[in-house]
């Protein structure tokens, strides 16, 4: 069993003989977004899914080494002393109280969650943070050998690493150490543009196409020095994250002409240009790193993990540059995936087991690794919620959902096992008609309650992807961005071309405007009949009715809330938003048939939140 915890996005994963049996993030059970606590609920779910007792767990593996992290903290403060004393006085008591003795804490939590009579000290192991990332990317991949690139904020010391995987062996070859971090550079701009660090980075990626990279040269000139092989160093005189309480400082403010934007205030063209600039610099550096690795290793396959690997715009560019023949990215690329990597690295490197390579696309099972609910469980939960529902046959369900899509309804879609990782992939999704010119704005403002500039992703039948997008490889995890093909685009008038920033938002750019970003791009999920037959069936039925093999797919949640897990979670979100229909298992719920008083109560609760 692999565990990640105590920073953000805690998770647990269970593997048996190298096969991934179950994996889930703790936030889905506790309903606390990015929950960093010990993953009690995720662990118990994994045992239930595997139908085993705690005594059958051979090893529990934590995804990083706390003592190495503490060493980095102390050495960093000493290197920058006397600067950072205020931050030091806040951080050290927490470390001494909770984190320095994390092994003891882990054993205590395992005893309270599983079985206090088991000697967990004998079974507990620790992986290194970036080895966990690398293992999560390489071992489930379909490659016999590959180069592995990991990029994030920081692990113990490492911020960037490249490793070589061959058969069951995986060796880290090179590392870049804190404070020099591409992830933290991106997070610094996340903070400066007024979004929350460790959660708002994807908003920067979504905002970037509204701007121009006017500051990219300035960033490369002043903030970061990049070598020919892509390795880099930050000029720390502009940053405060090493020892301070903020990401940037007054020198950074002066460089970019003002203080950080206050959260929730109006976004200006300046913020959009800053987002475009840091996105461009990030893309360029990732490409340079990839070229350097390809040249040094001669490998033709690349695996990616770490938080920066969730930058699907950069991933799409990397794919199109053809530096490597094939690229595979861990869908749970952030810290949650570290739990999986910790378990896999122990199985193959510590226990020296033979690696079995999948004959399918990979060994992730479509990332559908979370809980699934039987019809009896769904019916019981819905009844307890006071829901009005009816049960249909599978064919009836597919027909009703596809018809509702054609009628431009927003549909909550909860089917099969929950996804592992940050993306909804047709297990816990809100789906809609991509042809509607109003759907993007409606879903953002009336369903998701989030910023209007945020784009939506298309789920497209794998067999039809190249007829709609400049892309013809698998993308089951929504980790590559590609452009709409030219004959599906709508030509802009001179007046529309002259628009700036958010004014571009409401101009339809293709025959599927709800999923087409302002630069004609889309974050693609290819849907495969073997991993998600129901989702494939409903999109196929929609295609039969419209000749369009695409639906809008966004995660089944509202802003600030984790993706739903249970039927109760789904019903609450359905009732508190303007979702029109809910499909759970073989059950259908229509908003207009629900109790009016119940609707008002749930809606008021969401609006207060």
Identify the burial level of 280 via C-beta atoms within 10 angstroms of its C-beta, where 0-12 means exposed, 13-18 middle and 19 or more buried.
buried
Mean pLDDT per 10-residue segment, the chain (609 residues): 93 97 98 96 98 97 81 67 66 62 90 95 96 98 97 91 97 95 97 93 93 97 96 96 88 96 92 97 98 96 97 97 98 97 98 90 96 98 97 98 97 98 97 92 83 86 98 97 96 81 80 93 97 98 98 94 97 94 98 89 66
Q: What is the pLDDT of residue 8?
A: 84
> What pTM did the predictor assign?
0.94
Q: What is the pLDDT of residue 485?
A: 97
Q: What is the pLDDT of residue 95?
A: 58
Q: What is the pLDDT of residue 72?
A: 66
DSSP 150: E
Q: What is the pLDDT of residue 96?
A: 63
Structure tokens at 393: 């046959």
Identify the burial level of 602 via C-beta atoms within 10 angstroms of its C-beta, where 0-12 means exposed, 13-18 middle and 19 or more buried.
buried
Give the residues across from 126 on adjacent strands.
Answer: 62
Q: How far apart are alpha carbons 194 and 261 in whole angstroms? A: 5
The per-residue DSSP string of 213-246 comes to -TTHHHIIIIIEEE-TTS-EEE-GGGB-TTTSSS
Residue with tokens 């896999």: 344
Residue with tokens 């079985």: 115
Greatest pairwise CA separation for the chain in angstroms? 74
28 near 562, Cβ under 8 Å? yes
Structure confidence by residue, pLDDT tens digits, 307-348: 999 999 999 999 999 999 999 999 999 999 999 999 999 999
Structure tokens at 479: 């980790």
Instruction: For residue 580, give Cα distances in angstroms to 327, 409, 446, 575.
Output: 38, 6, 11, 9
- Tally of CA atoms within 13 A in the half-sphere of 120 that contains its CB: 21
Q: What is the pLDDT of residue 569?
A: 97
Q: How far apart are alpha carbons 527 and 366 in whole angstroms? A: 9
397 near 604, Cβ under 8 Å? no
Q: How far apart are alpha carbons 334 and 558 in whole angstroms? A: 21
> Phi/psi of residue 356, each to 5°?
-105, 120
Tell me if the bond preceding 82 is cis, omega within 30° of 0. Answer: yes
Q: What angle do the packed helices 335-345 and 129-138 form, to 10 degrees?
A: 80
Tell me the domains of the chain and their CATH numbers. Answer: 2-139+335-367 (3.30.420.40), 177-327 (3.30.420.40), 375-608 (3.90.870.20)
SS3 19: strand
332 near 133, Cβ under 8 Å? no
Q: What is the pLDDT of residue 420?
A: 98
Structure confidence by residue, pLDDT tens digits, 513-534: 999 999 999 999 999 999 999 9
Identify the burial level of 311 via C-beta atoms within 10 angstroms of its C-beta, where 0-12 means exposed, 13-18 middle and 19 or more buried.
buried
Tell me if the bond preceding 514 is cis, omega within 30° of 0. Answer: no
Radius of gyration of the chain (CA): 24
Dihedral sign (CA 402, 406, 407, 408): positive
Contacts of 342 (CB under 8 A, 6+ apart): 2, 3, 4, 13, 61, 62, 63, 127, 132, 135
The per-residue DSSP string of 413-467 comes to EE-SSPBSSS---SSEEEEE-TT-SSHHHHIIIIIS---TT---EEEEEGGGGGG
Q: What is the pLDDT of residue 228?
A: 93
Structure tokens at 365: 């099972």
Q: What is the pLDDT of residue 67?
A: 64
Give the residues across from 483 on adjacent strands.
Answer: 521
Residue burial 227-240, b: 16+ Cβ < 10 Å; e: rest: eeebbbebebebbb
549 near 461, Cβ under 8 Å? yes
């Amino acid at each position: 069993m692999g565990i990640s915890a105590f920073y953000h996005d805690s998770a647990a994963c269970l593997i048996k003989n190298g096969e991934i049996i179950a994996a889930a993030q703790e936030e889905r059970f506790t309903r606390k977004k990015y929950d960093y606590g010990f993953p009690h609920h995720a662990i118990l779910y994994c045992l239930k899914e595997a139908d085993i007792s705690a005594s059958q767990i051979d090893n529990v593996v934590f995804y990083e080494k706390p003592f190495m992290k503490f060493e980095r903290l102390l050495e960093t403060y000493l290197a920058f002393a006397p600067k950072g004393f205020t931050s030091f006085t806040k951080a050290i008591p927490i470390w001494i109280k909770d984190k320095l003795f994390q092994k003891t804490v882990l054993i205590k939590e395992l005893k309270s969650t599983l079985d206090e009579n088991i000697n967990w000290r004998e079974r507990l192991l620790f992986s290194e943070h970036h080895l966990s990332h690398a293992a999560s990317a390489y071992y489930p991949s379909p490659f016999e050998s590959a180069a592995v690139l990991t990029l994030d904020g920081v692990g113990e010391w490492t911020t960037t690493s490249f490793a070589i995987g061959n058969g069951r062996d995986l060796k880290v070859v090179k590392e870049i150490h804190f404070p020099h971090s591409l992830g933290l550079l991106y997070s610094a701009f996340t903070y400066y543009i007024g979004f929350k660090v460790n959660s708002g980075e994807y908003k920067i990626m979504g905002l970037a196409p509204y701007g121009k990279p006017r500051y990219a040269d300035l960033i490369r000139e002043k903030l970061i020095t990049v070598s020919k092989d892509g390795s880099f160093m930050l000029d720390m005189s502009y940053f405060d994250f090493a020892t301070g309480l903020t990401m940037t400082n007054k020198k950074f403010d002066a460089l970019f002409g003002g203080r950080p934007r206050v959260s929730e205030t109006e976004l200006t063209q300046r913020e959009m240009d800053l987002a475009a600039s840091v996105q461009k610099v990030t893309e360029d550096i990732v490409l340079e790193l990839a070229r350097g690795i390809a040249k040094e290793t001669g490998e033709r396959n690349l695996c990616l993990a770490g938080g920066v690997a969730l930058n699907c715009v950069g991933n799409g560019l990397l794919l199109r540059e053809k530096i490597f023949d094939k690229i595979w990215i861990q869908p749970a690329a952030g810290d949650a995936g570290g739990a999986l990597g910790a378990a896999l690295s122990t199985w193959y490197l510590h226990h020296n087991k033979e690696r079995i390579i999948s004959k399918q696309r990979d060994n992730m099972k479509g990332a559908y690794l979370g809980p699934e609910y039987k019809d009896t469980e769904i019916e019981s939960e819905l009844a307890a919620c006071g829901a009005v529902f009816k049960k249909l046959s599978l064919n009836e369900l597919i027909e009703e959902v596809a018809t509702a899509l054609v009628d431009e309804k927003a549909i909550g879609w909860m089917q099969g096992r929950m996804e592992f990782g940050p993306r909804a992939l047709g297990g816990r999704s809100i789906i809609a008609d991509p042809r509607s010119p109003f759907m993007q704005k409606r879903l953002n403002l009336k369903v998701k309650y989030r910023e209007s500039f945020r784009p939506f992703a298309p789920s497209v039948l794998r067999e039809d992807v190249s007829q709609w997008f400049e892309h013809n490889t698998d993308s089951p995890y929504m980790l590559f961005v590609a452009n709409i093909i030219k004959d599906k685009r709508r030509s802009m008038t001179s007046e529309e071309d002259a628009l700036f920033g958010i004014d571009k938002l409401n101009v339809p750019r293709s025959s599927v405007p709800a999923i087409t970003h302002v630069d004609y791009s889309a974050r693609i999920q290819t849907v495969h009949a073997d991993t998600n037959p129901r989702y494939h069936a409903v999109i196929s039925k929609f295609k039969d009715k419209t000749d369009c093999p695409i639906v809008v797919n966004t995660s089944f949640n509202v802003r600030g809330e984790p993706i739903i897990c249970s039927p109760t979670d789904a019903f609450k979100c359905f009732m508190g938003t303007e979702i029109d229909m809910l499909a759970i298992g073989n059950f259908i719920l229509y908003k207009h048939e629900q109790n009016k008083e119940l609707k008002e109560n749930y809606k008021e609760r969401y609006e207060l939140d």
